[in-house]
Structure 1
């Protein structure tokens, strides 16, 4: 397999851990308001399934006027289908794009090739989602996976990186293990991050922004602690200041 292309400017490794604000709403007007408010304090904004399914690709272009977009659609299908989906979203390429590592090496390699063909040097970073932050050991066992989240994250990470993924999505609990196993090269994008005193919600494997950054994360994906605050801009600024030390 050929060596990875140089990182595009919008998703190159940051000098210090940065924040991605998750715009989890089906309402485009609300998402745009949030994006405008938090833009001075975050590096990227996340468009996920809820907003994308409600509004389609056009909303990505509108959101990207404020900050580069982390498009979190978690593709998981046969390689040809995923390649076609990647080509479609790369017409106006986001900065980062997710797919499930569980789709296997052939799917991940097909996704990367499709991104390169469709967007060239402007292609998004291909990020492989390992184990969702809502999963516990018991939840994984229900699906037939033994050994718990940490072991499964490492298994899937090896497959994804060997197939050409630029980085991984994992919970805060696996960051240091991934750094020990794979070094500084992979981008590590981490949801399940909760400032001290915040409710965990439906996340099972969480940590604070400061602890997650110290473990070696590149980007923290933070939604409700920002967008659910009375002043999202102030909440984002406070988190960013904490990471700056």
Structure 2
């Protein structure tokens, strides 16, 4: 796998995404493209960004019945993403269908609990236990399904690395020390902490893409880890 920093390109605009890709490519391990970009630009936009030479992480968080998710993964398989996300809460059969339909190059990882959620959110949803408990259950389900790894916050990644030594552990909600506002993120750590605790991949967006100089911002983060 490439370096650990995948830059979250959260924009619907292709030209903006391409400019960011050029700015960060010396230090980025890849580009994370989510629903905002994919819904606006589709597969053609993904292919245009692949031309910039960086691996693509398709963060689509697929979550539906097993047949639908399997067919969706088949549809995007020609894009050959390096990483693809599904929701662990979709269940064992759905996770297995996603993995079976993915190309060999693609690591299918399951989102355990969004980093925009915390304990009160679980309580409101009627989910018993702590965020760590829930992540632990979703990790067990994902591993049983044969997935490559999970997405979890930096608060859980150390325990997940101990549980899943060879798992591909993706950590979003990463903010540099003194990195400013958390926006919609609630469970965050610094890049150094996440890597020290066993992260395979760091997903970092606004501290880089919203910086006055994205190239300098990612260089500084890269140096910190």
Partners of 2:82 and 2:26 lie apart in 1 by: 17
Q: Secondary structure at the match of 2:79?
A: coil
Q: 1:186 aligned to 2:172?
A: no
1:134-182 deviation per Cα after TM superposition (whole angstroms, max 9, x unaligned): 1111101111211121100000000011101101100110001101222
Give the 4+ runs in structure 1 shifted more than 6 A.
Answer: none
- Give the equivalent residue in structure 1 for 2:26: 40
Q: 1:89 aligned to 2:89?
A: no
- Give the equivalent residue in structure 2 for 1:163: 145
Q: Secondary structure at the match of 2:127?
A: coil
Q: Secondary structure at the match of 2:195?
A: helix
**Contact 1:60/1:94 (<8 A) preserved:** no
Q: 1:228 aligned to 2:210?
A: yes
Partners of 2:192 and 2:79 lie apart in 1 by: 33
Partners of 1:242 and 1:65 lie apart in 2 by: 28
- Give the equivalent residue in structure 2 for 1:208: 190
Q: Secondary structure at the match of 1:72?
A: strand
Partners of 2:45 and 2:107 lie apart in 1 by: 19
- Give the equivalent residue in structure 2 for 1:141: 123
- Give the equivalent residue in structure 2 for 1:73: 60
Q: Secondary structure at the match of 1:168?
A: strand
Aligned partner of 2:4 among 5, 14, 18: 18
Partners of 2:9 and 2:114 lie apart in 1 by: 18
Give the TM-score taking structure 1 as reference length.
Answer: 0.89
Partners of 2:122 and 2:45 lie apart in 1 by: 34
Q: 1:52 aligned to 2:38?
A: yes
Partners of 2:65 and 2:123 lie apart in 1 by: 24
Unaligned runs of 5+ in 1: 1-11
* Count of paired positions: 223
Give the TM-score taking structure 2 as reference length.
Answer: 0.96
Partners of 2:99 and 2:149 lie apart in 1 by: 12
1:83-107 deviation per Cα after TM superposition (whole angstroms, max 9, x unaligned): 0000011112111100000001100
